Amino acid sequence: MVQKTFLFMPESAYGPTNNCIGIGNVLLQRGHRVVFAAEASWAGRLEAMGFVEDLVDLAPPPEPSAVGPEEDGAEPSAGQFWTDFIRDTAPEFRKPTIEQLSTFVQPTWQALIDGARYCQPQLAEIIARQRPDAIIEDNVNCFPALITGDAPFVRMVSCNPLEMRGPDLPPVFSGYPIDDRSAWDAFRAEYDRTHRPMWTEYDEWVRSCGAPGLGDLDFIHTSKRLNMYLYPAAVDYVERRPLDGSWHRLDSSVRETDAAFELPASLAADRHPDGSALIYLSLGSLGSADVDLMRRLVGILAHTPHRFIVSKGPQADEYELPDNMWGAAQVPQTRVLPLVDLVITHGGNNTTTECFHFGKPMVVLPLFWDQFDNAQRVDETGYGVRLATYDFADHELTGAIDRLLGDAPMRASLDRMSAVVQARSGVQLAGDLLEELVR
């Protein structure tokens, strides 16, 4: 078909951005022009993949006096906006999810809203300059400029699909079981209490920008044309919450842009005892910044017979790995996952769906946002174990690893799910749907 221009605006975090990279790369291969209106710290990284960068700032630049001499003028890391925010609020992750509503979830929404307000003029200029044929937002809050122009708006959900709420589903962000409703009402009431004033003000601002009003306590619009979300059918919630025909499920969204990976010789199976599994440890780009937690995990796992690939995160230089581990600040996750037997993860939605894509059981240590919902869903469907991230006993972690590695029926079920998910090819399906939209 004739070349079209697709504009992606992902949240400034690796999960949503990598999802958009995977889909955008498919569109590039089909001859289209792909623009990223990502946050400014991604400068140079997206252009190197063939995308057009037309970036936004989500906050004013820091005053020179606010940073140390060695940091002043330094190149920011990709996703630095949220890395800094999560670092400053990390103590909240130790609280129960209902207590996090006031001390973490609401401030996070406020930071997102502040970013949307700040970049609204820039974003309007970008859209006028790039003249996209379709606009795809992979975020959790509304940016009015994305929906007030002529191009059709597409909503992408790369969080747990509890974000599409329903009365027969646990409240989003709660991590509550699907078959125990005893705490649902209290959580919803606390969410209303802590969020309604902020939502009311935000809704008024969104309307003042010429955009439609938001749904009750929703922070983003649903597209009338095309909505997409990530989750395999086998663990989705569709029986409890049917969606209309504008919604399309991508069972996974696995990018083909990660660098090649060769297993380090130190982790080769012939150098380790029989029965040694290969395990991937990653708490995501944000969770791995908790150095104390990473040190504890590494210390426990050092005394197991297994081998580990570790995504060390932005504080990689702050801790060492023992002999049964290899790691780096970043690893090409989609190249690593096919090699391993099990994954220890924070439960970010991209990592969770990628584990299902490759058929890998999970030990999940959730920290914030929808990670609790993913951890609960993995646990209650039998494809992994949820642990209390800061309160688990050493034997609970090692015991979960041993149980999952020894569960042959569960692993066979994961293999079958993986075959279905890979055959569905989420990134290709997304490319088809976007082309159909603009045809």
CB burial readout 41-71, b (16+ within 10 A) else e: bbeebbeeeebebbbbebeeeeeeeeeeeee
CB 280 within 8 A of CB 337: yes
Q: What is the mean pLDDT of residues 165-172?
A: 95
pLDDT > 60? residue 73: no
pLDDT band at residue 84 under the 50/70/90 scheme: low
Dig out the tokens for 148 from the structure: 């007030």
Residues 6+ apart with CB under 8 A from 288: 282, 294, 311, 312, 313, 314, 315
Identify any residues that bridge with 226 across adjacent strands, giving them in sequence order.
154
The pLDDT, as a whole number, for residue 74 is 45
Question: Angle at which helices 14-29 and 426-438 pack, to 10 degrees?
Answer: 60
Dig out the tokens for 258 from the structure: 């990660």
Residues 6+ apart with CB under 8 A from 195: 101, 105, 106, 109, 217
Give tens-digit pLDDT for 380-436.
999 999 999 999 999 999 999 999 999 999 999 999 999 999 999 999 999 999 999
Question: Angle at which helices 371-380 and 349-358 pack, to 10 degrees?
Answer: 30
pLDDT > 80? residue 329: yes
Question: Angle at which helices 394-405 and 291-301 pack, to 10 degrees?
Answer: 60
Task: Report helix, strand or coil for 173.
Answer: coil
Tell me the residue ranges of DSSP E strands in 256-391: 278-282, 307-311, 325-328, 342-345, 362-364, 384-386
The pLDDT, as a whole number, for residue 68 is 46
The pLDDT, as a whole number, for residue 77 is 59
Q: What is the mean pLDDT of residues 314-328?
A: 86
Give tens-digit pLDDT for 106-164.
999 999 999 999 999 999 999 999 999 999 999 999 999 999 989 999 999 999 999 99
Q: Which CATH superfamily is 5-255+425-438 part of?
A: Glycogen Phosphorylase B; (3.40.50.2000)
Longest alpha-carbon distance in the chain: 65
**Which 8-state DSSP code applies to residue 180?**
-
* Average pLDDT of the chain to the nearest whole number: 91
CB burial readout 237-257, b (16+ within 10 A) else e: beeeeebeeebebbbbbbbee
Q: What percent of the chain lies above the pLDDT cut of 90?
A: 75
Dig out the tokens for 348 from the structure: 């970010």
Question: Angle at which helices 106-130 and 184-208 pack, to 10 degrees?
Answer: 30
- The answer to whether the 5-255+425-438 and 265-423 domains have the same CATH topology is yes
Q: What percent of the chain lies above the pLDDT cut of 70?
A: 93
Topology given in CATH for the domain delimited by 265-423: Rossmann fold (3.40.50)
Distance between CA 43 and CA 56 in Å, rounded? 10
Residues 6+ apart with CB under 8 A from 228: 154, 155, 156, 157, 247, 248, 249, 250, 430, 433
pLDDT > 80? residue 80: no
Identify any residues that bridge with 53 across adjacent strands, giving them in sequence order.
36
Extents of the domains making up the chain: 5-255+425-438, 265-423
Burial of 236 (0-12, 13-18, 19+ CB in 10 A): middle
Distance between CA 290 and CA 133 in Å, rounded? 41
**Which 8-state DSSP code applies to residue 326?**
E
The pLDDT, as a whole number, for residue 281 is 96
The pLDDT, as a whole number, for residue 82 is 58
Cα separation of the two ends of the chain: 8
Give tens-digit pLDDT for 220-264.
999 999 999 999 999 999 889 889 999 999 998 887 777 888 998
pLDDT > 50? residue 333: yes
